[in-house]
Structure 1
Amino acid sequence: MNAAVTLAADYPLLDVFWTTLWIFLWILWFMLLFRIITDVFRDDDLSGWAKAGWMIFVVFLPFLGVFVYLIARGKGMGNRELSAARQSEQAFRSYVQEAAGGGGSTVDQLARLGELKTSGQITEEEFQAAKAKILAS
């Protein structure tokens, strides 16, 4: 049992910095690689053969493939990400409006309000207040 024990004090601060930097770059590399793979499959303009070609290029020559992809298609990558974010935001907004019951046009809302009044579920004062609120928005 003569094995040397390495203590934390034996690991210089500069080595800690370099190790941290390499780990950070390694994680950054994988994030970039997965983002590119996601973008390849998200793009509707690419044919199946083009997607397969990019995937082969990125998998077998990863550094060169990623850099060439960023140079050739980097701007479109941002545009596709922005488009996906806008579609997601629009879907979320329409879901919230539908769930809140605020969907439909002003005419539809007034018609529903009139039905509530004629059925006796709301009073004339409530009807006028709700009508003013709908017409104000």
Structure 2
Amino acid sequence: MSRPVRPEDVDEICAALPETELGTSWGDRPTWKVPRGDKGKGFVLYRAPGRTAVDPVTGEMYDDLVVIHTPTEVEKHALVEDASNPFFTIDHFRGYSAVLVQLSRLGEISRDEMAEVITDAWAAKAPKKLVQEHLGG
């Protein structure tokens, strides 16, 4: 098994995938997109603190959330329902194929696991031809 994932690994994993770029969405939020350029679709986003994402224990707004797109609701629920990993969702994301994770809890999963989740997110947003070239069908 690979080492625990670190916050900087998120950007490294995203940058290593074909045709990705770090841009912005939701106003000014850092967002990894594919493909590069005007047609890019976000697959990983650093979310601003907001009233829709609050720590149930402290009542404080999360200030270190990453939103990772999932291919479908099936993958989303599989990640969220697995108590061994730090992924979760909020009411604001009901019906939206994406999970949230706190940067401060990334070490609960391995870098390999995070690379798989991010690669799935990339593949869900990337042009089909690019996915086939990179992942071989």
TM tier, smaller: under 0.3
TM-score (norm: length of structure 2):
0.24
> In terms of Rg, which structure is larger?
1
Which protein, 1 or 2, shows the higher relative CO under an 8 Å CA cutoff with sep ≥ 6?
2
Q: Which structure dedicates a bigger proportion of its chain to helix?
A: 1
Q: Which structure dedicates a bigger proportion of its chain to strand?
A: 2
